[in-house]
Structures are given as structure tokens and as C-alpha cells.
Chains A and B, each alone.
Chain A
């Protein structure tokens, strides 16, 4: 039945999408500041590292989730329980809920757990992914101890009417399809996107851990499906003002497989439904810019567990958040801009798993900032922020500077910031274990970067090298208690410091255009708690599941209508206990793709074949959760 339904969807998409042009830009494509209107904004991350995910990387993973995109194209470590499974982040050696994710300026981290499951965000639904490294970018609010990720949708007044879509069939009965339609009439623009994927996900692997003799088995109960619908509306009021409206409905259901060292004794499944809606007003004047946005974020989580021999249970939790944001920037001169912002948020949780079924949290944030250029090569930024969170007040700040060593080519950046992260609602109220006496995690960070960008006639290079250091106090860890359930405590002091290097190079050799992307990160995220405890063997040890070394490289080459892509990513050893007694192996994974662009009746099409895990490596992102071995997919992309 599902196959028939999917075939119908694919057929419908094929018919609906008629003509168009190539999706990928075949020219040299180095990301830079392209929106002049944004120049009025105060660069609140002036002294730190900001990564714009390359549009070609976005294009190459359009059928995947943000989990795959970030794994292969950024320095963020994604801890995954295999495709379709829970995927959480570690940014600069911090925990999953220390990465704040904003969609069009609105935070979409779970109000309950505080983290984001990146497997549930289709790349097809974002136009722009920007990573703000470190905790200094206060524009994204508090809590981003490791960094923040901005996902953006934007109007396109150049291609006023366009249709995009793809269908993809992959190994393990994986099917994906999507379509989008942009429509413009006068000052009004609408963009509608739909996405659906499903997989039986029953890949085969060699189980070497369960019994005396290794044996092949198929992954059981790992199937998933995910679908979404997004509607964007834009209306230009004159030349400087615009109204925007975005609605994003996302739904997904998946079975939760057990680690392969466990003989499955239960059947687990989770479902998540999200409805995110936001309305915004933007006014960009000669000397000022005003942005106002209101939003409502509704998340519904259902968890079911059943057993063959006895009764299971169902859990139903709902969170609803209302957000109001206002942001105003005034440019006194070309050398001085000031900015003020207000952010109000009210979270309401209706949770069966809480001590009291209804819990609320109100947050009010006031922020002021400025960007000042006292002398030509030097720009400075200072941001101050105060936040009241259920009547607990926390102040913070960030300060940074950029000095152009060689104007437009080489600059030195430095920043410092103080930031904090409130305990999540689960930390406070989960039953059993929730600890209402938890204090916010907080810490100082320091950051220095060298940024290089240069264009030659046929070559463009962009590189960034950063060193960062942050001390975080009151780090929250869930630990078993004497009552045999787990509870969060403000246990750790953590020193996280490390080195980041990223580079992009685009060049042409005869008629072949080439793009190379490279990221290398070395992170020491060290537990600095209880140095005097003789029994404690965790002092100065790397935190669990944070690799010290992560690197990835991508090559994309295009010749006429052909293109090839190759990605290699390395993830270093990850310790699974706090004293380094146990660890999971490092891995290097190679992916390759090749495609051909062609035109049928004015419809631009791209046929693409992709091989993931080319060398058939057995690897685990989360220990005893095997990732798929070599897998294939074929897709057809259409642009009209």
C-alpha cells in the first residue's frame, strides 16, 4: 500500500514538474556577503568564526537531513543512531543542548529537552545554513555555549516563478520525494515546499559482539518516515519594507532499534509533530533597520513501548511556545552603528512525564549592542544582554574586534563572551529525577581567528583558522542516584578549547570547474571537576562522545554537463565512559556521487547516482548502533 502511495506521489511530482534549468551553479561559487541591506546590521559575531555552509554542499545533500549535511560539511560533531535515528550535536566540545538552532530567527530547540534532532530537519526546507561558532553571538539568545545555527528561508525576486523537486530511491527500501513551487505576482511572492521520505532501513551488518560466533543480521525495527510542508509568503511594502509569513509543518514516526549488544525485548516507537509559524515585518531605511517577528512553535511528542509478553505504555507530551522578537539598528555614521533588541518567550509544557502535568517558563531578554570602526582597519563590537527567566535574572556580554591586516584579504579577529544556559524543562521537572534546584550552566569564552579570502582571475580561496577556549561551570549531567533512577546535577566544570581550520577553494582547469572544501577541528573538552578526589579518575579527561579530532573534505568537479563529487570524513575516537575506560573506534567514511544534467522539453533535469560508505566500512557513531554499510541511491532532480 505504501509503495503504491509512493509511486503515486512520484508520478504526481513527475507530471507536476515540467521544465526548467540546472539546479547546480556550475560557476565558481564562493560564499560572501551578498545582501547589501544586511550591511546595516551590527555584526555581533565580528570577533569570532562564522561559517556559511557552501550552497553546493546544500545542493548535494538536498534529499537528506541536516544531520548528514553537518556531518560531512562542518566541524560540528553529530552523534547519530544511524539514518533516521536521533541525531544530536556537539559544537566546540559542548553538549547537545548547548547548540541553539534558529529558524528565521526563531529558536526551535525543544522546549523540553533543550536539544535539536537534526535528522528531522530536511535540507530541502532551508535555503541558508550559517554556523556561529562559540557563545559570543548573543543575537541568537542565551544557551549557545558551543555555538548556534541559523536556518534561513528567503525570497527570490530574481527567479520569480520556479518549480523544483526530486525523487530518490535508495538502498534498504528508502524513498524520498520533494517539490517546491515559487510564485510571484507584483509585490507578492509565495513559495510552497513539500517533502516526504520513508525507509525500511533494514541494512545488513556483521554482529561481532553478541555471541561466540559472529553472524550477519539485518537491522530490525529501524524503519522511519518523515514528511513536511512549508509555506512562505512575502509581501513588499514599497522599496524598504516587507512582510513575511512562514508556516512549517513537520511530522515523523520511527521505530527505535536497540543496540546490537542487547537482545531486543521491547518495541519502541516515537512520533513527533511540529507546527512552526512566524510572521515578520522588516523595514530597511537609509540609516536604520527594524525587524519584528512573532512566532508560535508547537511540538507534540509521542512515545510508545510495547512488549511481547506484557503490557507496554504510551507517553504523550506537548510543548507550545509563543515568541515576540524586535530588533532595531541605527547607523549614526558609516563608522558607528547601534542596536537594540527585545525577545519575549513563553513556553507551556503539558507533559505526562513531569512532576506536575503543566509547567510554564517565561523569558524576557533585552539586548543592546554597537559596532564601531575607530580607525579604518579596526572594527569593534560590544553586546550587553540581560535575561529574566522565570524571575531569575542573568546578565551577559560579548565583545569582539576585527583588524584588517591586509584589507579585504587577511584579517585578525578576537572576541570574548560570557554566556549561560538555563536548565531545560526536562532537567527541572522530569519524573523521576527532575531537579528544580539546578543552577544555570555558565562560562567565559575567548576566541581568536585569522581569516583569509582572496580571488585571483581563475582561483578563489577562503580560509579560516581559529583557537577558542571556554570554561563552563555547573555543567549539568544526568547520573544514576541511590534511588536507582537518573537525576541531573550541576556536577562538572569543563574546559573546552581547541583549534578549527576550514578552507574553500574554487578554481577552473581548462573546462573543468573544481570546488574543494576542507574542515579540520581539534577539540579538547576536559572535565575539570574534583581534582582532589583520589578515587576520581575522570579529572582532566575528555568528555564522553566528543571526538578530539574531526575532519572532512569535499571535492566537486564539473565538466560540461557532467559532475562528480567525493566526500571523505573522519571522526576520531570517542570515549564512552568518563574515565576513558571504554571507547568506540574512529572511522573514515567515503561517499561519492556522479551526475549528468540534461534538458527535456525545456525542463532541466539532473540524474544523479550516489554511493555512501564507498569502502563498505563498519562503523558506529553511537556505540553498538551500526551505521549502514555501502549503500546506493539514484535521484532525479528537476528545475523549471
Chain B
């Protein structure tokens, strides 16, 4: 009897130990999920590059590439190719010397990677100085200028991909554009102007570009900005506002308005509202007044949260839609009649559109 009890106890104990060992084994055998690599089109076809801002401090900014012909979206091409995230709060990008320069605002860096293969080449950052980069423009084959929220612009050496120097400014600087030998920079209530060879000598024009709206260059090489007063045209030679198209009964939200031009650079596009209805407006550069009607209405069921706009060379209006900011957003493609042609799933909070025409 005693032997049977001991045997029973041993069996119980062995069973218990076996179960525990099995559970521990299961626990330790748990491994990482396989990270499948999406198929990336590394090509030279016409593409639409969409930089997503991502969620603040979450490091999920990335770049999506849309094949214009097939409509295929290559998601998160930077991280897929380079096996690391692009950064935090993607703000803008530019292609300079066949390299993509992606400006990551909260990572305080500029990632440089090949425009066709997306393979990383350099990271431009300064861990000692506080910078908050916004937009980049090529000044020459050797230099590019980056605007910065922290009262100093950043001059980049494109050969070494390093910071060459800082150019102090009175306030934050935003969008910028190069016209001939001059660079025009949005800065608060002013547009700053400098010669590309003498960036320290900054001059001011009394005009402002709302929020993060672009400075647009028309076919006559005039610079347009959208100001709370309306569309202002700046002559780059005299550095004066030479024309204003008042907004009239169109209302805009200063931080949310975006300005674009088409491939012919003869029309301007912006988002605004009239009679409590949101529209995309189209204005010819030779117009003297705003159109009486919007180009097309932005229906809430089609565009939830407009974040940016872009006009392709074919004349399609592309709209970044951030949806609820917590999931991948959309890039909607509209024709000028306002018909929704397609919607592409891109990154979280799509922020910046760049058309690459080959």
C-alpha cells in the first residue's frame, strides 16, 4: 500500500514536472514573427512618392511609391530596403542629384537615399545643436538649404552630405523655393529673400505663406503665396508684391490651407470653404478675382481629413487623407470634375507628395 502511494506520488510529481517543462519549453520557443519583405519596385518608371508624417514620437514615418501606370503601391520602401525606420515626423522630401532627401522633423535629421533603389546613403544630423528641419531646396550641385523651426537655416553640403553651416534667422522658417539666383523663404509674417551665394544677407517682403503652404513659381517665374488676404504674387526681381487676388467670400484655415500649381504653371489650386462647404479651388494666374464656384466639392465621405494636395502632370488632383490619424491614410486621385478615380493606401498621415516623371 505504501509502495503504491509512493508510486502515485512520484507519478504525480513527474507529471507535474513534465507539464511544467513542456510549458517552459513552449514559452522559450516563442520566436519573433517573420517580417516578410514587401515587393518593392526599384525602377525608373514614373512614380508618385508620398511621404507620411507618422505619429509624433512613434517613429512610423515612411515613404510609399505609387506606380503611375499600374497603380501598384510599394509601402514603406525605405524601411523595407534598409531594415530600419525612416524616422519621426516626416515633413518633406526632394530629389536632388538623383537622391531623395527626406526631411524628418522630430528626428532632427535628413535621410539621403537613392531615388531609384531607395538604398540608404547618408544621414545628415547634428546631435549637438537643436534643429527642427522642415523643407529642403537645392541651391547648386554642391549645396542645399534646409529651413528650420529653431531660428537658423541649415546649409547642406551635397557632396559630403554634412551640415556646412547655420544661417541665423529671426524666426522659424518654412517652405522655400529657388528662382534663378534667389531663394524665397516663408518665415512667419514675412517672405525672406536671399541670393543663393550670400544667404546671410536676408531681405524681407511683406507677405506671408499660411502655415505650411507652398511657395509656388508660375510660368513667368513669379512667386505665389496664399496669405490670409488672398493669393499674392511676388516679382522675384523687384522683390515686391505685384498682385493680390482677394479671397472674397472664400475662407481658409491658416494652418490647413495648401497651395499648388499644375504642370503648365498657369493655374493655382488651394483648398478652402465657401458657404460652409469645402472645395478645391482653381484660379488662373492671370485672374483678378476668385472664381465664383469651387473646382469640386470635398465630400466628407470621400475625403475625411485633407492633409495635402498635389497636381500631377496629367492634371489629376491628388489629395492626402489622414483619416483618423491612427491608421494608414489614403492618397485620393480626382479628376478636375471632382470624380474620385482611385484611392491608394499609403502611410500614417500622408504629408508630402512628389511626382517623379521619367
Contact = CB atoms under 8 A, between A and B. Distances in A.
B106 to A, nearest CB: 5
B328 A581 contact: yes
Contacts of B122: 212
A518 B21 CA distance: 11
A459 B108 contact: no
A210 B345 contact: no
A309 B321 CA distance: 35
Interface string B1-29: 00000000100110010011001101110
Interface stretch (B42-50, B123-131, B139-147, B279-287): B123-131
B32 A585 contact: yes
Contacts of B33: 573, 583, 585-586
A261 B132 contact: no
B304 A258 contact: no
Interface stretch (A221-229, A297-305, A478-486): A478-486
A505 B321 CA distance: 55
B27 A551 contact: yes
Interface in B310-328: 321-328
B109 A263 contact: yes
A459 B59 contact: no
B120 interface: yes
Interface in A467-507: 477, 479-480, 482, 484, 503, 505, 507
Interface string A558-590: 000000000010101100111101110110100
Nearest to B113: A212
A459 B12 contact: yes
A262 B255 CA distance: 24
Contacts of B26: 551
B121 interface: yes
B175 interface: no
Nearest to A508: B13
B151 interface: yes
Interface in A238-274: 258-259, 261-263, 265
Contact of A211 (B60, B109, B150): B109
Contact of B326 (A209, A479, A583, A586): A479
A367 to B, nearest CB: 37
B94 to A, nearest CB: 19
Contacts of A210: 87, 107, 109, 123, 125
A563 to B, nearest CB: 18
Given A309-B151, A586-B30, A586-B32, A456 B59 contact: no
A539 B30 CA distance: 27
A535 B304 contact: yes
Contact of B58 (A211, A308, A549, A576): A576
A475 to B, nearest CB: 13
A209 B85 contact: yes
Contacts of B130: 265, 307-309
A36 interface: no
A473 to B, nearest CB: 18
Nearest to B332: A535
Contact of A579 (B30, B31, B151, B328): B328
Nearest to A587: B32
B13 A459 contact: yes
B323 A623 contact: no
Contact of B330 (A307, A535, A624): A535
Interface in B134-177: 150-151
A116 interface: no
Nearest to B327: A579
B51 to A, nearest CB: 15
A461 to B, nearest CB: 6
A480 B57 CA distance: 14
B123 A212 contact: yes
Interface in B70-96: 75, 84-85, 87-88
Most chain B beta-carbon contacts within 10 A, residue among A484, A537, A552, A582? A582
A553 interface: yes
A482 B27 contact: no
Contacts of B323: 535-536
A516 interface: yes
Interface string A270-292: 00000000000000000000000
Contacts of B123: 210-212
A588 B27 contact: yes
A588 B30 CA distance: 8
Contact of A262 (B19, B57, B305): B57
Given A459-B16, A581-B327, A262 B88 contact: yes
A456 B84 CA distance: 54
Nearest to B83: A208
A505 B18 CA distance: 12
A581 B348 contact: yes
B324 A479 contact: yes
A34 interface: no
B121 A262 contact: no
A484 B16 contact: no
B325 A479 contact: yes
Contacts of B31: 586
B121 A577 contact: no
Interface string B241-254: 00000000000000
Contacts of A537: 327-328, 345
Contacts of A259: 57-59, 88
B179 to A, nearest CB: 30
B325 A570 contact: no
Contacts of B24: 518, 553, 568
B55 interface: yes
Contacts of B125: 210-211, 263
B327 A261 contact: no
A158 interface: no
B60 A262 contact: no
A590 B200 CA distance: 57
Contacts of A265: 108, 130-132, 150
A582 B255 CA distance: 28
Contacts of A211: 109, 123, 125
Contacts of A520: 23, 27
A464 to B, nearest CB: 14
Interface in B323-353: 323-328, 330, 343, 345, 347-348
Nearest to A590: B28
Most chain B beta-carbon contacts within 10 A, residue among A265, A535, A588? A535
Contact of A505 (B9, B20, B75, B127): B20
A458 interface: yes
Contacts of A263: 107-109, 125, 127, 131
A474 to B, nearest CB: 16
Nearest to A544: B326
Given A210-B125, A259-B88, A262-B108, A576 B60 contact: yes
A577 B327 contact: yes
A583 B59 CA distance: 11
Given A258-B57, A576-B58, A456 B9 contact: yes
B293 interface: no
Interface of A: 208-212, 258-259, 261-263, 265, 307-310, 456-459, 461, 477, 479-480, 482, 484, 503, 505, 507, 516, 518, 520, 535-538, 544, 549, 551-553, 568, 570, 572-573, 576-579, 581-583, 585-586, 588, 623-624
9 contacts: A262-B88, A459-B12, A479-B325, A520-B23, A570-B27, A572-B30, A578-B324, A581-B60, A582-B58
Closest 6 CB pairs of A and B: A579-B327, A211-B123, A261-B59, A263-B108, A480-B325, A265-B130
Given A458-B9, A568-B27, A577-B328, 20 more contacts: A210-B87, A258-B57, A259-B57, A261-B85, A262-B57, A262-B88, A262-B107, A309-B151, A456-B12, A458-B13, A480-B322, A505-B16, A570-B27, A570-B28, A570-B30, A573-B33, A576-B60, A581-B347, A581-B348, A588-B28
